[in-house]
Amino acid sequence: MKKLLFIACVVILLVLARDHADQSGLTEKASGAARSATLPFKIAWLSMKEPDSKLVVPVEGVSAEQIRDSWHAPRSGNRLHEGQDIFARRGTAIRSATGGYVMRVGESPLGGKTVFVAGAGGRHYYYAHLDDYAVGLAVGDYVTPETVLGYVGTTGNAAGTAPHLHFGVYTMSGAIDPLPLLMDRS
Q: Is 164 a catalytic residue?
A: yes
The Cα 184–Cα 118 span in angstroms is: 21
The Cα 83–Cα 181 span in angstroms is: 12
Query: Contact at 8 Å (CB) between 104 and 139?
Result: yes
Query: Contact at 8 Å (CB) between 152 and 130?
Result: yes
CA dihedral 100, 110, 158, 106 (to 10 degrees): 40
Residue 148: strand pairing partners: 95
Q: Point out the catalytic residue in the list 124, 129, 164, 166.
A: 164
Residues tagged active-site: 164
